[in-house]
Amino acid sequence: MNVTQVLSQTEICQSCTIRNRAICADLHADEIVLLNSIGRHRTLTAGEQLLWEGEDAVLVGNVVEGLLKLSTGTSEGREQIVGLAYPGDFVGRPFGGTDPYGVEALAETRMCVFRRQDFDAFAREHPRLEHKLLERTLTELDRTRRWMLLLGRMDAEQKLATFLLDMVERLSGAPGLNPELTGGNTVPAFALPIGRQQIADVLGLTIETVSRHFTRLKKDGILDLPSRREVAILDRAALQDRAG
C-alpha cells in the first residue's frame, strides 16, 4: 500500500456524508484508513435484498444514503417490519452466527459494507469503535422497546399518528432536508419513503386500515395528502393528540 492510496482512502471517509453520525465518528485518521481497507462501497437497487433471515451473517455495514427495511414474517406469511435503517445507521449482526431478520432496500441505497469476520476482528482491536457501536445499539434497543408500546397498546389512529411524527423527526435529521420539518405547528409536504403496505407492516396493521386512517386524518384537516407519496402536516398539535 503506498502513500497515495492511503491518502485517497482517508479522503473517501473524510468526505463521507455520514462521517460524523456513523459508528466511525470517533476513529482517528489512521484507524479510518485501516477500516477503509477492509470495507467497500456497494449500491443496492430498490427491492434488492442484502441479508436473509436465518442465513449465516456474512456482511455488516453502514447506510450512507437511502433506506433499508429490517423484517421478519410469520410462517403464514404475514410480515412485520422491525426497523428502518436510515443514513448513518448500522445493519447486520456482528459477533453472531446468523442474521436474525431480513434486510432489503426500499429505495436505491448506497452502503459501506464489511465482511463480518473482518469487521469483528477490527472492532475487537478498536474499543472506540466498539463503544460507538454499543451506544448505537443501546439507542436502537430503546427505540425498539418504545415501538413495542405502539404495537401492543395503541389503536390504529394512534399508531399512524405516532408513525408520522416519528418519521418527520427521523427525516429531519437527515442531510439536505428542510430544517423546517422540525419547527412549528405545520410541516410542509415531504416525500414518504415507503408505501401504504409497508407502513402497515411497520405498524402491525393491514393496508386498508392504514388507508382509512390516512383519509380520516385528511378529512379532519390534520394532514394533507398531495399525492400518495407525499404528506403535509397541517396541525402537528392535533396529530400529537391523536398519537395519545
Distance in Å, CB of 227 to its own copies, minimum = 27
Mask for 136-175, x = binds DNA (CB under 7 A): -------------------xxx------------------
CB 211 within 8 A of CB 205: no
Distance in Å, CB of 81 to DNA, minimum = 14
CA distance 204 to 198: 10
Which secondary structure element, helix H or strand E, spans residue 191, and what is its range?
strand 187-191
Sole residue written with cell 393528540? 241
Closest CB to its own copies among residues 152, 184 = 152
**Is 80 an interacting residue with respect to DNA (CB under 7 A)?**
no
**Is 146 an interacting residue with respect to its own copies (CB under 8 A)?**
yes
Distance in Å, CB of 144 to its own copies, minimum = 5
* Cell, residue 222: 390534520
Residues in contact with DNA, total (CB under 7 A)? 21
Closest CB to its own copies among residues 25, 151 = 151
* Residues from 192 through 221 that contact its own copies (CB under 8 A): 203-204
Tell me the C-alpha to C-alpha distance, in Å, between residue 25 and each of 8, 13, 106, 131: 18, 10, 26, 11
Q: Give the largest Cα separation in the chain, rounded.
A: 64
Tell me the C-alpha to C-alpha distance, in Å, between residue 156 and each of 124, 128, 143, 211, 215: 44, 42, 19, 11, 13
Query: Cα 181 to the chain's mean position, in Å?
Result: 18
Q: Which does 175 bind (CB under 5 to 8 A by kind): its own copies, DNA, none?
A: none
Q: Which stretch binds its own copies (CB under 8 A): 13-21, 23-31, 93-101, 182-190?
A: 93-101
Q: Which does 176 bind (CB under 5 to 8 A by kind): its own copies, DNA, none?
A: none
CB 61 within 8 A of CB 114: yes
**Is 12 an interacting residue with respect to DNA (CB under 7 A)?**
no
Sole residue written with cell 445499539? 137
Q: Which does 227 bind (CB under 5 to 8 A by kind): DNA, its own copies, none?
A: DNA
**Is 232 an interacting residue with respect to DNA (CB under 7 A)?**
no
Which residue, 180, 181, 208, is CA-closest to 196?
208
**Is 207 an interacting residue with respect to DNA (CB under 7 A)?**
yes
227 in helix, strand or coil? strand
The residue within the footprint of its own copies, chosen from 31, 48, 108, 130 (CB under 8 A), is 130
**Is 154 an interacting residue with respect to its own copies (CB under 8 A)?**
yes
Which secondary structure element, helix H or strand E, spans residue 145, and what is its range?
helix 127-153
Chain residues that interact with its own copies, rule: CB under 8 A: 70, 72-76, 78-80, 82-83, 93-96, 100-101, 124, 127, 130-131, 133-135, 137-142, 144-149, 151-154, 158, 203-204, 244
